Amino acid sequence: MKKLTIALLAVPLVAFSGAALAGDAAAGKAKAESCMDCHAGEDFEGMTLEEIIEANKAVLSGAQRHPPGLEMAEDDVADISAYFYAEAGGE
Ligand code: HEC
């Protein structure tokens, strides 16, 4: 019974992280083309995927300083972040 409870509790967590983090790095590559004029994967080295997502949200919202030329739709954050993460040596 204890195992079952743990399994049931784990389900929403997996579902949540899947929805929030499941970016498509291959799709992100095309969307991040404009970013790569200035950025390289190593800009995001050592960051977790979550941190890259947060950083991208921060520049998008203006909370983090960014030079002009940021071509990113809010819907693209997950894919672009997944691509940066992969380029930086993450999975
Ligand atoms: C014109 C060059 C240029 C382009 C194009 C560009 N960036 Fe940047 N980006 C910068 C510079 C320079 C900084 C550092 C800003 C600062 O700290 O003042 C930066 C910072 C960032 C940061 C913050 C990094 C951190 O460690 O917090 C993120 C995230 C980011 N850029 C994402 C993007 C994404 C995503 C794109 C494409 C949609 C993009 N950038 C396109 C030049 C660029």
> Which of 29, 33, 35 to mutate for ligand 1's pocket (most ligand atoms within 8 Å of CB)?
35
pLDDT over 70 percentage in the chain: 76
Q: What is the mean pLDDT of the chain?
A: 86
Residue 38 Cβ < 6 Å to ligand 1: yes
Residue 30 Cβ < 6 Å to ligand 1: no
Rounded to an integer, what distance in angstroms lies between the CA atom of residue 6 and that of residue 49?
26
**Residue of 64, 65, 44 whose CA lies nearest to 80:** 44
pLDDT digits 0-9 by tens, 45-78: 999 999 999 999 999 999 999 999 899 999 999 9
Ligand 1: centre distance to CA 5 (Å): 44
Decide if pLDDT at 30 tops 90: yes
Residue-level pLDDT at 22: 75
